[in-house]
Structure 1
């Protein structure tokens, strides 16, 4: 992950403007939230592995952060579509009271929505709410101890299984909360904040295992993926991301980074857990870690039952540009030699979308670049080298979406011209941040964002839309031929998934830097997204979950 510190004045996240259907050329007045939807929800919130698989076909709920184990972020719902989306309007704005960077993906089960908040004043929350009205049902509050974080006090969400909600805390606890009552069931420490570890990802649950990864790659730590018993919270296996023999000079592997920032995908047929790994440490100084630095900057597959390595594909060898692989791996079928093959794809910070055979890890194709490239692999110098992509990418942590209808993957990216230097700031003290050098935005240099549709069968770009600021948050695509994303300036956008034409947008007052979701309650389709800005990019902060629907 990149380290770009900053802050912005907080905004409340309240509505600031009405929706604007782009095709119709006019504004749709927002309606009053109170009394607009059914006031109560009595839901069965007990789910299992089969529920996660089924939801990709029904779309009624949004279970698991990527909507199914494949992380496709695709909804088969189509009541909201490219024809009628101009009428989409807010039905609820739920203000959480936690004004800070919001990166949560809401989880929705039979009318109940679960969201995590960022950490504010050492507290973070898991909130259960009515998914149609935004009414709070219960709140679980967690108080963090020591935290060390590079990129804001963020949480990317929770996951649900067997009537339990599982979340990670920034100070490295894995917590099990009863989905009906909001009461804590168990809590387990998974890493040491003093050393530099933190936890921001959403866990994944499969076969009674809670799968997690480690954040904190700017510190001299060793990344890992681990499995915990869903009923007891005890560790069942752990796999370290840095190889101690093949590709690291000396003992540099012991503090080699390679953290896992985002939720893994699972191929249930092959029994594989597939994820992306972060940069080696020090981020920008490779002088003491000669070698390829496996398994950093890679797509990695483990046998999910025991955590042993199945295969890997390294995107960037011996990275000194912070070009880590941090966006979620997505599973789909892609054409190779005229035949569909099971594939896995990852949107790299390099502005390439990498597609590998998920049976072997062998590269099938690398996409056309979806963002600008300049001096991409030029080594940093003392005077400085200006390069594109910058250290944020390409694609940052933002999860892409994949549509089986278009065979396109929808990737959020950014163009940020940066200067990479060899100015040393590397320390070797345990628990101290260790970057190894510096990168900075070029004053007056390009700063914008993109949403790109990339065909997975060819690697070619079908369309590319540009917005004024670098994009960070995540995409959603639906069977209604609509692709959704948010902008740092507060707009929530919808595009024609086939053509890239912008159809609608709505201004939420705070940066929409979280992934949208789609679901149904009592047969009505909803779109929900968090609007809370972003600490890294200094986008305006807020505290809201916005829920949209078509008029009844």
Structure 2
């Protein structure tokens, strides 16, 4: 049964004042226990999602010798976002379309493949999948059509297959738009629906997974264009727990529910004005009491687990309808939020909404990372850091969600929180893609650096009103990309109040994720097909490899036969115009240099 949403405590503005004194004076932030030092057994590298490899064989001094050990082609050319999972010398990867392959990590030869067959028709959200979970003798994957599948780890044979959520889609069409709107003359590549892109996480016999697509809007086949149409369609997002052996659903938390109107907040929690017409929203509320039933709140990234607090923590997406907000008055609570649930029951512990009544598609998409802070008196504070689409890293006390810190901006910002405008619209940065999108960050607990790959893609938001032949009125909002294009790779010093330690500006948007290592390296894709290593202290590029497709997936590190390996998928990203391919790349030092 769905858990009953509890009202999260309100954070005072005083609590959200940037507590630079807290984390600058404290500065020691220590790591969570590592899941495994030899492989990469969890999607986020450990339960805390830190993506900081403990291996030190590859260093700033020898990384220039790194060479390609093997490359494996899947035969499926499409957008790749997978994180390889490496256990006992076998690499498990999800492929576009939710297929799964097991690969010999020594030789790069395929051991088995599970071919997923979706049920029904058109997918809501494209074919990309972000990874699998491996626990014991089983591999788990969420699918593009909203299912959770368990496979035999040795053979790939299907063990069980359950539906997480089913929803046919909004059946929107670009043809209903204003005839003068250029977007009315193209087809659509996606629409509101249900899918699963995030990797599941397994803990103590439970598999945790959430759905996406429920606030997706209509995606015309033209760059990064998105259309949100006012109305009643969609459904609440959800996070659910399943028995790892049987697939039985144990609990479900619906992201939106009664009371989602909230407090009609005029500002973000850190005091930035949202430019809302609160009087009009309150007047519209009686006719929109059921709008929470279509409320959205997708989950785009794997959650993290705080074992000490017994909590599952994750981010949620924008409310539905996307951007076109007239049919959903109120704060639309628990959308565009950080949410913490009780592991055993799914009961809400706390929720912190980054953007009440989100009109810009500012999902909390990049996964949170668990860190530890020390307070002014030396006390330890269990905390989390999250790189937002807004362009700041937020740090919270993870016991109750209380804000502790907001970093310096890691992307340019302008016209932030200006609503969609009629006519020529308004250009807002960060745009609908962020900031930090779904790409995971990494955290170096010794150097106290939080690494973020981000996008600079300002968006033109336009409000439209169309008089239909039957006399009814269609209200919608569109978001379209602008000629500005780039990205940033940033090291943010949380021990120094969230200041930028260094930043690299790139010609292409950075989408995919980063990997830091204990030896002082940072790995990331940095453009159409370049995969590179940087000195994590100052951002100097030390090595790079030119791939045949965009490197737009998170890299990993693992030890095998006494040698450290770096693995990453090079399959590009169609949405951002980055060349597509089908290759998994594995690098290592020459054998003589590894001794």
TM-score category of the 2 structures, normalised to the smaller one:
0.7 to 0.9
Alignment of 1:307-346 (within 5 A): 307-339=346-378, 340-346=380-386
Match of 2:47, SS? coil
CA contact (8 A) 2:260 2:334 kept: no
Aligned residue in 1 for 2:114 = 140
Aligned residue in 1 for 2:431 = 390
CA contact (8 A) 1:303 1:309 kept: yes
Deviations, residues 179-232 of structure 1 (Å, cap 9, x unaligned): 111111111111114141111110000111000001002152210100000000
Aligned pair in 2 of structure 1 residues 425, 493: CA closer, same or farther (>3 Å)? farther
**RMSD of aligned C-alpha atoms?**
1.8
Q: How much does 1:144 deviate?
A: 1.4
CA contact (8 A) 1:281 1:435 kept: no
Aligned pair in 2 of structure 1 residues 405, 149: CA closer, same or farther (>3 Å)? farther
Structure 1 outlier segments of 4+, above 6 Å: none
Aligned-partner Cα distance in 1 for 2:409–2:37: 32
Residues 388-397 or 182-191, more deviating: 182-191
**Quick one: which of 455, 479, 494 aligns to 2:493?**
455
Aligned pair in 2 of structure 1 residues 551, 202: CA closer, same or farther (>3 Å)? same
Q: How much does 1:285 deviate?
A: 1.5
Verify: 1:60 aligned to 2:74, yes or no. Answer: no
Aligned pair in 2 of structure 1 residues 148, 282: CA closer, same or farther (>3 Å)? farther
Alignment of 1:479-518 (within 5 A): 479-518=518-557
Tell me how many residue pairs correspond in the alignment: 487
CA contact (8 A) 1:171 1:193 kept: no
Q: How much does 1:296 deviate?
A: 0.7
Aligned pair in 2 of structure 1 residues 426, 212: CA closer, same or farther (>3 Å)? farther
Q: How much does 1:147 deviate?
A: 5.3
Q: How much does 1:335 deviate?
A: 3.7
**Quick one: which of 458, 461, 465 aligns to 1:420?**
461
CA contact (8 A) 2:464 2:475 kept: no
Alignment of 1:301-312 (within 5 A): 301-312=340-351
Aligned-partner Cα distance in 1 for 2:377–2:420: 42
Match of 1:142, SS? coil
Aligned residue in 2 for 1:81 = 59
Aligned residue in 2 for 1:165 = 139
Aligned-partner Cα distance in 2 for 1:80–1:538: 32
Aligned pair in 2 of structure 1 residues 386, 150: CA closer, same or farther (>3 Å)? farther
CA contact (8 A) 1:395 1:413 kept: yes
Aligned residue in 1 for 2:248 = 234
Aligned residue in 1 for 2:443 = 402
When the two structures are superposed, what TM-score results if normalisation uses the length of structure 1? 0.86
Aligned residue in 2 for 1:368 = 408
Aligned residue in 1 for 2:70 = 92
Aligned-partner Cα distance in 2 for 1:441–1:335: 42
When the two structures are superposed, what TM-score results if normalisation uses the length of structure 2? 0.80
Larger Rg: 2
CA contact (8 A) 1:514 1:529 kept: yes
Q: How much does 1:400 deviate?
A: 0.4
Aligned-partner Cα distance in 1 for 2:395–2:243: 32
**Quick one: which of 538, 544, 550 aligns to 2:577?**
538
Aligned pair in 2 of structure 1 residues 189, 151: CA closer, same or farther (>3 Å)? closer
CA contact (8 A) 2:552 2:571 kept: yes
Aligned-partner Cα distance in 1 for 2:444–2:256: 34
Aligned pair in 2 of structure 1 residues 148, 351: CA closer, same or farther (>3 Å)? farther
Verify: 1:102 aligned to 2:83, yes or no. Answer: no
Residues 406-415 or 510-519, more deviating: 406-415
